[in-house]
Amino acid sequence: MNAIMPTYGRIDVAFVRGEGPWLYDDQGNRYLDALSGLGVIALGHANPAIAKTLAAQSQQLLHTSNLYRIPSQEKLAEKLASLTGMENMFFGNSGAEANECAIKIARLYGHQKGIVEPCIIVADASFHGRTMATLTATGNRKVQAGFEPLVGGFARVPYNDLESIEQIAKQMQNVVAVMVEPIQGEAGIQIPDEKYLIGIREICNAQGWLMILDEVQSGNCRTGAYFCYQHSGIIPDLVTTAKGLGNGVPIGVCLASGDAAQVFGPGNHGSTFGGNPLSCAVALTVLDEFERLDIDKQVTAIGEHMLSQFSQRLGHLNVVREVRGKGLMIGIELERPCTDLVQKALQKGLLINVAADSIIRLLPPLIIDEQQADQICDIVCGLVETL
Ligand SMILES: *Cc1c(COP(=O)(O)O)cnc(C)c1O
């Protein structure tokens, strides 16, 4: 036992050092990381450019608070706006905080239109975080059970089902927004039909609702575009991200466009740490490195390479229900529970994750090369073939 609250069923391995996609435990064993600390370490462990920025910024200025202008925050916001087509943004420290911000904007937007009990439509099997509002938005009873009373003002629909959103549009007068993940991550890399986001955009336009996309996991080039919604050619009113943006330094952001960008005024929201000089300097380096490495193209190419290997080697097996993915967000859904594979992979020197009990989830660092990708595929295929 130790003095940590037992909120995680932790695997008994302690990493002490990393380099690129590699991790080393306290016994000196080496592992290939196909999970990136849950999609965070996009540029790999101990990235030299990030280390340089961290060292330099720590000697210059760490924190001043948002009571003053923060030039690196302004620069980061401009850079993100130019990459995404969004207009302005609010910085926090995590995915849940970014989503809280989006939920607050949607509610205030409703109140400003005279809707006193604003309601946000959310999807089954979604994951939006562990704060009270975001766990209420989350479509997983395991995340909510025991924490009632939940927050009001959410209505739930099946994922990838435009019909049921249209149904709600006919029945309810107090809806202000639809909030979904463009690809559901925790649910096991669930990829909706190509027309899903476009359909939500159309409904939101027709109803005067805000379209909120949670790209905490799918953002930051994970799917081969800066944001996953960019594959669909739409622009949401609000989009949130966090995980890959700071390469391990906590940062989250809620970006807004159009009417949603005009909702907040002074005093409506805040964060002591959010967007401080340290996290913004690191995020700027992350974006510079993405650009320098042409990471979008690399992620698309390596992702397709991995997906085709998995399909060829596993697609025909009875135990495999589906192989799917976009960029380096890859899911292999099995016909039966497979959480034991995490430990088996670890013994072979590979870190993987299993989502929703039966779906192997891979989120390797975006910088993996073809040889490392092949190594991941070999080990995973080997494990699935022996089931
Ligand atoms: C991880 C995740 C969150 C929560 O992010 P935290 O930084 O853990 O608060 C929210 N939404 C999605 C889609 C996520 O994958």
What are 40-97's pLDDT values in tens digits?
999 999 999 999 999 999 999 999 999 999 999 999 999 999 999 999 999 999 999 9
Q: How many helices (H) and strands (E) does the chain have?
A: 12, 15
d(CA 321, CA 358): 10
- Dist. CA 141 → ligand 1 center (Å): 16
Q: What is the DSSP letter of 250?
A: -
Q: What are 193-225's pLDDT values in tens digits?
A: 999 999 999 999 999 999 999 999 999 999 999
Q: Is the pTM of this model over 0.85?
A: yes
Question: Between helices 295-314 and 370-385, what is the axis angle to 10°?
Answer: 30
- Dist. CA 318 → ligand 1 center (Å): 33
d(CA 356, CA 141): 13
Measured in degrees and rounded to the nearest 5, phi and psi for residue 115 equal -90, 110
Q: What is the DSSP letter of 215?
A: -
Judge if the beta carbon of residue 219 lies within 6 A of ligand 1: no
Judge if the beta carbon of residue 137 lies within 6 A of ligand 1: no
Q: What are 7-40's pLDDT values in tens digits?
A: 999 999 999 999 999 999 999 999 999 999 999 9
Fold topology of 294-385: Aspartate Aminotransferase, domain 1 (3.90.1150)
Task: For ligand 1, pick from 41, 100, 216 the residue to mutate: most ligand atoms within 8 Å of CB.
Answer: 216
Judge if the beta carbon of residue 361 lies within 6 A of ligand 1: no
The confidence score (pLDDT) of residue 37 equals: 98
On the 0-12 / 13-18 / 19+ scale of CB atoms within 10 A, 297 is: exposed
Judge if the beta carbon of residue 227 lies within 6 A of ligand 1: no
Cα of 145 vs its chain's centroid, Å = 23
Q: What are 121-144's pLDDT values in tens digits?
A: 999 999 999 999 999 999 999 999
Q: Which atom of ligand 1 is nearest to the CA of 218?
A: 13
H helices present in 220-339, as ranges: 277-292, 295-314
Q: What is the DSSP letter of 213?
A: E
Judge if the beta carbon of residue 139 lies within 6 A of ligand 1: no
Judge if the beta carbon of residue 324 lies within 6 A of ligand 1: no
In the chain, what are the domain boundaries?
A: 66-292, 294-385
Report the greatest alpha carbon distance in the chain: 62
- First CA to last CA distance, the chain: 33
Judge if the beta carbon of residue 127 lies within 6 A of ligand 1: yes
Task: Report whether 104 contacts 139 (CB < 8 A).
Answer: no
Judge if the beta carbon of residue 128 lies within 6 A of ligand 1: yes
- Dist. CA 184 → ligand 1 center (Å): 11
Strand partners, 105: none
Task: Report whether 207 contacts 175 (CB < 8 A).
Answer: yes
Q: Which atom of ligand 1 is nearest to the CA of 243?
A: 7
What average pLDDT does the segment 134-163 reach? 98
Judge if the beta carbon of residue 263 lies within 6 A of ligand 1: no
Judge if the beta carbon of residue 216 lies within 6 A of ligand 1: yes
- Dist. CA 241 → ligand 1 center (Å): 8
Q: Which atom of ligand 1 is nearest to the CA of 96?
A: 9
CA angle 24, 25, 29 (to 5 degrees): 70
- pLDDT of residue 277 exceeding 80, the answer is yes
Asked if 66-292 and 294-385 have one fold, the answer is: no
Task: Report whether 44 contacts 34 (CB < 8 A).
Answer: no
Which value, to the nearest 10 degrees, does the dihedral of the CA atoms of residues 233, 238, 244, 248 take?
170
The confidence score (pLDDT) of residue 292 equals: 98
The confidence score (pLDDT) of residue 1 equals: 62
Task: For ligand 1, pick from 101, 126, 127 the residue to mutate: most ligand atoms within 8 Å of CB.
Answer: 127
- Dist. CA 95 → ligand 1 center (Å): 4
H or E segment and range at residue 108? helix 95-112
Number of residues in the chain = 387
- pLDDT of residue 231 exceeding 70, the answer is yes
CATH of region 66-292:
3.40.640.10
d(CA 20, CA 41): 9
Question: Between helices 196-207 and 162-171, what is the axis angle to 10°?
Answer: 10
Judge if the beta carbon of residue 217 lies within 6 A of ligand 1: yes
- Dist. CA 145 → ligand 1 center (Å): 18
The confidence score (pLDDT) of residue 368 equals: 98
Judge if the beta carbon of residue 226 lies within 6 A of ligand 1: no
Judge if the beta carbon of residue 129 lies within 6 A of ligand 1: yes
- pLDDT of residue 275 exceeding 70, the answer is yes
Q: What are 322-368's pLDDT values in tens digits?
A: 999 999 999 999 999 999 999 999 999 999 999 999 999 999 999 99
What average pLDDT does the segment 99-107 reach? 99
- Dist. CA 127 → ligand 1 center (Å): 7
C-alpha distances (whole Å) from 90 to each of 81, 93, 231, 281 are: 12, 10, 24, 16
The confidence score (pLDDT) of residue 367 equals: 98
Query: Smallest Cα–Cα separation from 29: which of 383, 365, 342, 347?
Result: 347
Measured in degrees and rounded to the nearest 5, phi and psi for residue 158 equal -65, 150
